[in-house]
């Protein structure tokens, strides 16, 4: 049986944006699901049109026995009547199922919903570069400059003893940030951001208010770790820390020992 796009088990509406992608040689390692990767690799290995050594009925029969039900669930019930020559198109369609067709209805529902409000999705499509950060994971590792720019500092009155002790702590804080930037510690800017805000990156439209750094008094003879309020988005540092190694150790322990968001 020769496979055509008009076959009922290979839907004709399979092009993207008016173009027909060539997926017969698609690299399955790009897909995030390791189980799907393994099955696609197995299917391609059994019946690859580029390898004459496996173009026989035994390879196809083994594929149908091992993966036939799974391929049928991808929208290709005709797998059990297919020939070796059909396999490149079947492989391409399974790939298409996992990277497009499987979520197409949900995507259309989302875009139709946005267009219900003043054709908002059409606006996004016409200005897609401007909207790219909202719909695409463009996360890059935070730099020291970008991380510092996130925060404001709640200093005490200038000239007070508290202010002097706070400036000592901030000097050590700067040294810790240098350690992170130079990668001489396992602590990352993202760890601190999660600790303070619950987010591992700055939202595309920024935080609703600027996160802050505040200070607390370290009681004599006590070792109280830095702490944070993710509701207030504020990091509290002890006053009077003059050694960056000490502050680093405290921050490292605070972030690692915290349950945090999604940590156990």
123 falls within a domain:
no
38 falls within a domain:
yes
Query: Distances in Å between the alpha carbon of 212 and those of 39, 73, 148, 171, 197?
Result: 49, 52, 10, 16, 10
94 falls within a domain:
yes
Sign of the CA dihedral with 70 first, then 75, 79, and 84 last: negative
Read off the pLDDT of each residue in 128-137 and give the average, rounded to a whole number.
83
101 with 177, same domain: the answer is no
User: How many domains, in total, are found in the chain?
Assistant: 2
Q: Which of 60, 91, 110 is the last residue of a domain?
A: 110
What digits encode the pLDDT tens for the residues 238-247?
A: 999 999 999 9
121 falls within a domain:
no
105 with 196, same domain: the answer is no
* Predicted model pTM: 0.57
Q: Which of 92, 110, 128 is the last residue of a domain?
A: 110
CATH number of the domain bearing residue 224? 3.30.2410.10
Name the residue range of residue 42's domain: 28-110
131 falls within a domain:
no
Q: Which of 84, 110, 136 is the last residue of a domain?
A: 110
Check pLDDT > 50 for residue 4.
no
Catalytic residue among 47, 74, 212, 231: 231
Mean per-residue pLDDT over the chain, rounded:
83
151 with 239, same domain: the answer is yes
152 with 247, same domain: the answer is yes
- Helix, strand, or coil here: 205? coil
162 with 245, same domain: the answer is yes
148 with 250, same domain: the answer is yes
Other residues' Cβ atoms within 10 Å of the Cβ of residue 26? 19
With a CB cutoff of 8 Å and minimum separation 6, the contacts of 37 are 28, 29, 31
What digits encode the pLDDT tens for the residues 193-218?
A: 999 999 988 887 789 999 999 999 98
15 falls within a domain:
no
Sign of the CA dihedral with 124 first, then 128, 132, and 136 last: positive
160 with 245, same domain: the answer is yes
* pLDDT tier for residue 94 given thresholds of 50, 70 and 90: confident
Q: How many CA atoms lie within 13 A of 3 on its CB side?
A: 22
What digits encode the pLDDT tens for the residues 40-80?
A: 877 664 544 444 444 555 677 888 888 888 888 888 888 88
Given this model, what pLDDT does residue 16 score? 45
Read off the tokens for 4: 């055509």
52 with 98, same domain: the answer is yes
152 falls within a domain:
yes
Would you call 212 a catalytic residue per the annotation? no
167 with 252, same domain: the answer is yes
64 with 154, same domain: the answer is no
What percentage of the chain exceeds 90 in pLDDT?
44
205 with 149, same domain: the answer is yes
Four-CA torsion 196, 200, 202, 204, nearest 10 degrees:
-140
9 falls within a domain:
no
95 with 172, same domain: the answer is no
């Amino acid at each position: 049986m020769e496979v055509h796009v008009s076959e009922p088990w290979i839907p004709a509406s399979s092009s993207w944006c008016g173009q027909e992608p060539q997926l017969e040689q698609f690299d399955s390692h790009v897909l995030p699901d390791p189980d799907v990767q393994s099955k696609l690799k197995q299917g391609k290995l059994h019946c690859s049109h580029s390898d004459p050594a496996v173009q026989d009925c035994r390879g196809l029969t083994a594929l149908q026995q091992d993966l036939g039900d799974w391929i049928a669930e991808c929208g290709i019930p005709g797998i059990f009547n297919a020939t070796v020559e059909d396999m490149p198109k079947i492989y391409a369609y399974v790939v298409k199922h996992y990277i497009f067709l499987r979520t197409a209805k949900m995507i259309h529902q989302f875009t139709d919903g946005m267009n219900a409000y003043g054709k908002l999705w059409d606006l996004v499509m016409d200005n897609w570069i401007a909207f790219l950060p909202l719909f695409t994971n463009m996360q890059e590792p935070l730099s020291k400059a970008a991380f510092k720019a996130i925060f404001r500092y709640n200093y005490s009155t200038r000239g007070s003893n508290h202010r002097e002790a706070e400036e000592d702590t901030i000097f050590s804080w700067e040294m810790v940030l240098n350690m992170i930037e130079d990668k001489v510690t396992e602590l990352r800017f993202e760890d601190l951001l999660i600790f303070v805000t619950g987010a591992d990156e700055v939202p595309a439209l920024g935080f609703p208010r600027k996160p802050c750094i505040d200070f607390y008094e370290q009681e004599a003879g006590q070792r109280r770790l830095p702490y944070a309020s993710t509701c207030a988005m504020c990091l509290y540092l002890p006053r009077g820390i003059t050694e960056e190694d000490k502050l680093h150790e405290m921050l490292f322990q605070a972030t690692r020992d915290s349950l945090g968001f999604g940590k156990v």
